[in-house]
Every structure is written in structure tokens, then in C-alpha cells.
Chains A and B, each alone.
Chain A
Amino acid sequence: MSLSNQLKNQHLLWRAGFGPAVEQLDNLNKTSPQSLYKALQKGSSKKPQYLQAADNYLQGLMIGIQDVGRLQKQEMTPEQRKELQKKSREGIKSLNLYWIKEMVNSDAQLTEKMSLFWHGHFACRNLNVFFQQQLLDVIRQNALGNFRDLLHEVSRSGAMLNFLNNNQNRKDHPNENFAREVMELFTMGRGNYTEHDVKEAARAFTGWGANARGEFVFRKFQHDDASKTVLGKTGNFDGDDVLDVLLEQKQTAKHITQKTYRYFVNENIDEKKTQWLTDRFYKSDYNIGKLMEDIFTSDWFYDEKNIGCRIKSPIELLVGIQRMLPMKLENEEAVLLLQRVLGQILFYPPNVAGWPGGKTWIDSSTLMMRMRIPQLINDNDEFNVRPKDDDDQMMGRPDEMKKLGKVGRPINAEVDWSEYVNFYNKVPREQLMNDMAGFLLQTKKAVGAEIISEYTDNSSKENFIKTATIQIMSTPEYQLC
């Protein structure tokens, strides 16, 4: 059986973006995946805007510290330092919400989705909002560009250098953390190099650091400029040279391609297809845009087995709902709370390996929570779940976020249903349920219409549309894309 263009288009929109938006509904069965992909590319052709979350006060404080002379935090008074940390945490929250808004509203779906992928690949926990917004910008600017540039720029970012302790990597006292993760996680993957390679690479990165503003600093006197041998290549390498040695290894292209395939196509690798992609990715000198085009324009991407088989990450789920049901949240931080209880907070990956994804998103608590979110949004349910402490974020202070999770507090979202309801107005009532399930779900079989119907408000067509939508979104099937 050949699949409908509508299903394929939805598949593309969920994988190359955050799912169809309400204004796209009308077009989904009128266009082909090929032209839709062209439109997605066009939407992502502009340079992304810098997301600036540090407010004026924080900027001023930062500049003030620079004027004093030395940039190290130790030079601050305890009050300044405390204030800076607090403002920085708030800044990261704002950055989170700004980015979510881009994911929901931007036409550059491909850029934002790809950026979320790299955000997990170059996973970095850092409480300095300047570092975080800088790294995010590096990622968004290069998300569809060249992996070589992306890798070099990320490796020179204050966020990553600090997170992986490269400021402590000095000649004669090497700290191998940075070099190890670059090889294990960012490029080749475990098992493709020796401990000796790590040691030698670490020497090449000595002297690489960043100042308090996150600007790259090369500390010449801490750099070991003697000869090193990494993966059979010998030279007086610095960090950039080692990154190029790693990129020269086809294994890097393979590692990145396989990870991409697992994320965008199917958790189960198809060796032949990833080999084909790897060859082309390597030959193109790591052109990410071309790799994604290879994936999204291949026939096999639209194979039935690749559709609806992926568990949405919490971010994909939350953004996806908001794209279909535009809403105003009385308290935007509710989105942060939901990220937390579902296990994916932007800028707080579990560790440098990123979010493992797939089935690890799901346990009894998160699954039940996911299925209750649409009800929460629709105000039928109370939010009575409290997130765990996050001591890295809170630094021993009371957690404001927990207040949000107080028993009985609803999320208070104001959904703008007009366009959505309007779209279905022309659909005859008996066909409605099927159509809605078709637009909302990617699985082969939807949950039975009879069951959904038992839980709808049939007093008017409009109420039926709204309540059926909420119920369909409250099913296990909606967790998949």
C-alpha cells in the first residue's frame, strides 16, 4: 500500500522540524514531500538571529568586572558573585524560553531541529549564561553548515573548554578530559583510538582556554609545542591540527552519520544506507546540509517502518503541541517545569554524552505525565507533581520552581483554537474523528474512535473538535512521531 502524501509530509515535518503547525494543515495533502522539503530549506536559509538572554544589568556587571582588570571570578566581591550567579541562572531560563519560542514559531524549523540535535551532541552544562548563549549561537549558525567549522568553533568555545576542564590543561600537567570527550563523543566514538592517542591529543590542547566573557584565549606559555603523534600522524600539533586529524578519519564521518540516522530516521541502523550516507558526507567534506538533504529526499526515509517509530523527546512533544495549538501561558515557566519532570531541560543535559533518548524517555511517571499534559493545558486537571532538586542549578538555595509544582496548581494556558477549529469546520461530523487522528498521529493504527468519542463534549461541533483533540493527544500513540 502506498502511503499518502499527507502522512509523508507530516513525517517530514516531525523529523526535520517540530511537527506540523496549525496553519500548515490545509496544505498537507496538497503538496509533495519534495516540494515541502524545498520550502523547509528556504525557511532555514537565513542566518539565525543571536538569542540574547543576558539582560542589561548582567551585561553591565560583566563589563564592570572586565574594567576592574582581571577577569577571574575570584576578583569579585561575594555579593557581586552571588548576584551574578543568580542573574545567570535566570538568564539561562530566559534563553531556554526564547529558544523554545523559536522552535514553536520560526519558519527555520530545519535549523532549530538540527540545532537541538547538536545541542545534545555537543552537550554542555554551564551555569554562565554568556557561555551558554554563545555556544548556542555557534550551534545555530553552523547547524546546517559544515561539521568541520562547527567542531572547531565548539572546541574553542568558553562553554565547552570550561565544562571539560581545558582551562586546567597545561604543559607538563595535562588534563585529558577535553581531548577524551572530543574523541569519544564529538568525533570518532569509543573504541577507535588508543589511550595513547588521548594523551597525545591532550598535549595538543594545552594552553587552550577562555576568558570570563567566553572568548577563546591561547595561553602560549602553557602550550606544549613539542611533537605529538595522534592516530599515526606526527607533528607539532596544536588543538586545531588535532581536530583536523580527527576529521581526516572516515570513522568520524561514520560516527556522526550513524548518530544522525538514529536521531532522524530510525533507532535501528541500516548499515547499507548509513554507509552510503557516510561516503557522501565524507566526500562533501562534512557538509551537514547535504547530509540532511540526502536523508530527507531519499525514498527510504518515507518507508513505512521509519514512520511513527520514534518516541518524541520532551522538547519535541511540548513544542509540537504548541505548534498545533497556539497558546499563551500565564506562567511561561510552566514549560520549564514540564521539561524537568519529563527529563529534558535545555542547557542541562545529563552529562557530556547528551540525552540518550529513545526508550530512556519513558518510565511509568514520565509516560503518565506526558499523557496528562494535554489535559493540564485544557484546564481539566491539576498539576500535582513536583520535580526533583537540581543542586547544580540551585546551589543550595530554595527552589522557586518547586512552588510551581504545588499540588493543585493548573498550568493556565489560553489556547487560541480559532484557526484549528476553523480548519475542521468544513469536514462533516462523521469524518471528523478520523481526520483529526490522521493529522495528529503518525502510527499505523490510531486509538479507537469509539473510545475517544466516549470522552468528548458533543454539545457543539466546536466543543467536539476541541475535546477530541485533547483526548487524541492524551494517548500513547501521540508520544510517537
Chain B
Amino acid sequence: MVIIKRRKFLQLGSLATASFMVPKFLKAFEKVDRVPPGNKVMVILQLSGGNDGLNTVIPVRNDIYYRERPRLGIERTKVLSLTDEVGLHPALAGLKELYDDGSLGILNNVGYPNPDRSHFRSMDIWQTGSGSDEYITTGWVGRYLDAQCHGCDKPTYALEIDDVLSLALKGEYAKAIAMKDPKRLFGTSNEKFFKDVLKNHKNDGEETVDYLYKTMSETLSSANYIYEQSRAHPSTAEYPKTELGNGLKTIASLIFSEINTKVYYISLGSFDTHVNQQAQQQRLFTELSDAVKAFSKDLKANNRFDDVLVFTFSEFGRRVSQNASGGTDHGTANNMFLIGGALKQKGIINPMPDLNDLSEGDLKYQIDFKTVYATVLKNWLDADDTAILGKKYEHLSFC
């Protein structure tokens, strides 16, 4: 169990021997390195709607790119140049800084065989970690939760910053908690009526009734726990006043606390740019870049950046050619950003898409997204990736 590991860390730390005996109120003084380094956390940032990867990481020397996108292609002089061949979308200044800093990795051509172009279905495939011909009712993080949290009373190993819980975080036995704001979650679940109802219940063998009460009890105790932790060491940094900014600030505050959460999940959207792509992508990328920049800065200032791995994904990329409405239609393979202070591979990790080798106008995938999952599960979270994904996948070496 990870909780035990954390206690072990505390024992080993410099203040550790003392800290066991120090009354709780005094612990508040140990501000720096409260949570010892090595306590790894993963943040999954979902770009909903199918982000156009080709206008995100731009092949600035590629004639096919400019030929297929006479209106949408971003000129070489406008991009944020990474290498002679590759640039970032102009709105991603925060990510460019991370790149310069050695804290950004880019995986190109991530996808899966027989890609599906329906948002819902493809998101399902990404969130469950299934093949395109299977239907799985649990999410991959949910199954991680099942493995880590069997029988634990607070399913806070994974948290989603949202009102509604994504399939990705639903396991067979354990489901993560979704909340936008710890305080609001605390407020709604602390309605006296619910507490009284819960207090009054005694399990007496009606399986589904007990199941509902178990969920209710976990929700209420998690709500208290999350709220308490969110107030222990709230982030004092400046974040942009956007939804993603607020969400990442909440995550940072929790990372600075002693909460047992290993995985955070948050979404930004909609990247479904069939029409007028330029304005929409510009707006969303600005929100993304500013929020991620503030988040990384905050983590660095608190010595936690090396313990955090952020990755982005989208359910699919978009077609290579622009459409007639200033946008792009649903495509296939896409790029992923990896962000963190302890990346083992940085920069542009694998080759850019080969626009000479398309499948009916779409990019061909080179990396199965499930190998990315396998890698973070095994190398970052120290979990049994084969059991969680139901199959053995190759491990990449970015972490």
C-alpha cells in the first residue's frame, strides 16, 4: 500500500524521528519538503474533442503540410521554433519555456490500430485502454485504483477535477472521486440529512443497499479528507483565472499536502475544430499554456516538480488536409506532451509524422497509446501494468 510507503518516507526524512512525537499543531511549521521527494504523482490532461496535432507541433519544413493546409498552415516565421524543422503553435509559449528548460517531451504519432472517428467511441477506447473492437466497462485508471485500493475506505488515489466522473477513473471495485472544488464537494456532501441517513444505516445483507451506502460513506469521508488536505498547504501562487488554471491550482494544493492521491485527471475542450479552427485553438492553447506554466512554476518553487509527470492526450488527431470551412475533420494518430522535472527523455522523442505515408489522408500511428499507459503505470507509479491493461505492452523510456 502506498500509504504505508509514505509513512516510511516520513520516518526516513531528516525531521522524521522527531516528527513522530511532535504534536500535530507543531507539524504545521515544517513547511518545506513536507511531503518528501520521491512521492510520485501523475496528472492526466485530456484535450477533449480531437486536438489538431499538426497545428500543435508543426513541421515547418514540410511542403506537404503547407500544400494541404493553404489557409490553416502556420507559417514558419510565426511558430515558436523548437528545432530547425519543428515549431510549436504560437499560443504555446509556456510549453516552449518548458522545452527550453528540459521539462517537455513530445511523443509523435500516438494512436491505435483500426482507429474510430467517433468522439465518443474513440474516447472510450482511450479511457478504457481497449482495442477498437472490444468494449470494456472499466477505465484504465479505475483498474489501477482497483489494484491499489482494494478495500480502502477513501478512493482518493485518483481524483478528477470535474463535476462528472470519467469512465477512465471507474474501476470494477473502486471508483475515483470527481470534484471541481474541494470546498463545494465538502459542502454538498456534508448536508446534515445525508450524514444522518448514513449514520443510521446498518449493513444487513441487502447487497445493493449496502453498496450504495458504501459509496455514500466513501464519498462523505473522502470529501472531508480532500477538503482538509486542500487547506493544509494551499498554493499561494498566481494562476490564470480560467477553469484549467483553477483546476491546476487545486491539484497543486493537494500535491503539497499529504493526501494519498497518485493520479489527477482534468480536461480542457472542446478542440473539435471543424470550423474556424484558428481562433478556437488559439483560445484553448492560451488557456492551456498559461495554466501549465503557472502550475510548473508553482511545483518548482515547492520542490515537487521532479515528482510530477503531466501528460496530455486527445481522442484523435485531425485530417492532414484542411476542410472548406477553415477547420479540419476527425483524423487518427496524434502527439502527446509529457511534462515534468524528471523526464528521462526530453524534446522531440520520436520522428515527426511522415506526410508522405498516409492512410487515406490520415496519419499512421507508430506508438500504441497503451504502451504509454504501460510505461507510466510501471515506471512512474510502480504498478502492475500487465494486470491493469490485461496485456503486456512494451515500455518506453521517457520516465
Contacts and interface: CB of A to CB of B under 8 A. Distances in A.
Given A309-B208, A395-B274, A454-B196, A388 B162 contact: yes
Contact of A391 (B178, B179, B272): B272
Interface in B341-385: none
A55 to B, nearest CB: 24
Contact of A78 (B48, B167, B324): B324
Interface stretch (A148-156, A274-282, A364-372, A425-433): A364-372
Contacts of B119: 390-392
Contact of B170 (A353, A360, A384): A360
A196 to B, nearest CB: 16
A363 interface: yes
A384 B49 CA distance: 24
A367 B215 contact: yes
B97 to A, nearest CB: 29
Contacts of B166: 388
Contact of B163 (A365, A390, A448): A365
B188 A372 contact: yes
B197 A476 contact: yes
Nearest to A342: B164
Contacts of A363: 165, 170, 175-176, 178, 215
A443 interface: yes
B280 A476 contact: no
Interface in B139-182: 155, 162-167, 170, 175-179
B165 A390 contact: no
Given A390-B120, A396-B274, A362 B219 contact: no
A475 interface: yes
A451 B219 contact: no
A85 to B, nearest CB: 10
A394 interface: yes
Given A180-B133, A364-B215, A391 B209 contact: no
Nearest to B133: A180
Interface string A351-367: 11100100110111111
B138 to A, nearest CB: 9
B30 interface: no
A308 interface: yes
Of B162, B178, B209, the most chain A CB neighbours within 10 A belong to B209
Nearest to A405: B163
Which size bracket describes the interface of A in this complex?
Answer: 35 or more
A359 B211 contact: yes
Interface in B249-287: 267, 269-270, 272-275, 280
B254 to A, nearest CB: 16
Contact of A362 (B135, B193, B204, B212): B212
A464 B236 CA distance: 48
Contacts of B196: 451, 454
Contact of A447 (B118, B137, B197): B197
Contact of A396 (B135, B165, B273): B273
Of A391, A444, A447, the most chain B CB neighbours within 10 A belong to A391
A157 interface: no
A391 B175 contact: no
Nearest to B223: A364
A447 B175 CA distance: 25
B200 A391 contact: no
B212 A341 contact: no
B120 A364 contact: no
A285 B155 CA distance: 48
A431 to B, nearest CB: 21
Nearest to A356: B137
Contacts of A444: 204, 206
Contacts of A308: 206, 208-209
A477 interface: yes
A48 interface: no
B163 A386 contact: yes
Contacts of B124: 350-351
B270 A396 contact: yes
A98 interface: no
B43 to A, nearest CB: 18
B326 to A, nearest CB: 11
A479 B212 contact: yes
A474 interface: yes
Contacts of B312: none
B120 A445 contact: no
A365 B164 contact: yes
B280 to A, nearest CB: 7
A366 B213 CA distance: 13
A415 B190 CA distance: 27
A455 B325 CA distance: 57
Contacts of A394: 270, 272
Of A125, A311, A477, the most chain B CB neighbours within 10 A belong to A477
Interface string A366-391: 11100110000000000011111111
A304 to B, nearest CB: 10
B50 interface: yes
Interface string B94-134: 00000000000000000000000011110010000000010
B87 interface: no
B68 interface: no
B213 A476 contact: yes
A364 B118 contact: no
A445 B165 contact: no
Contacts of A385: 163-164
A339 to B, nearest CB: 12
Interface string A422-446: 0000000000000000000001110
B209 A392 contact: no
Nearest to A352: B135
A163 to B, nearest CB: 9
Contacts of A389: 48-49, 267, 269-270
B218 interface: yes
Contacts of A359: 208, 211
Contacts of A71: none
Contact of A364 (B175, B197, B324): B175
B216 interface: yes
Given A309-B207, A341-B164, A384-B184, A480 B135 contact: no
A140 interface: no
Contacts of B273: 396
A394 B164 CA distance: 18
Interface in A105-144: 125
A310 interface: yes
Nearest to B276: A396
A471 interface: yes
Contacts of A362: 211-212, 215
Given A352-B135, A368-B188, A388 B212 contact: no
B20 interface: no
B220 to A, nearest CB: 9
B275 A388 contact: no
10 contacts: A359-B208, A359-B211, A364-B175, A364-B215, A364-B222, A366-B164, A367-B216, A389-B49, A391-B49, A477-B209
Interface of A: 78, 125, 180, 308-311, 341, 343, 348, 350-353, 356, 359-360, 362-368, 371-372, 384-392, 394-396, 443-445, 447-448, 451, 454-455, 471, 474-477, 479-480
List 5 A-B pairs, minimum CB-CB distance, nearest first.
Answer: A396-B272, A364-B219, A476-B212, A391-B119, A353-B135
Given A341-B164, A447-B197, 17 more contacts: A78-B325, A180-B133, A310-B208, A353-B135, A363-B175, A364-B215, A365-B165, A367-B216, A368-B216, A387-B163, A387-B164, A388-B162, A391-B48, A391-B49, A396-B49, A447-B201, A451-B197
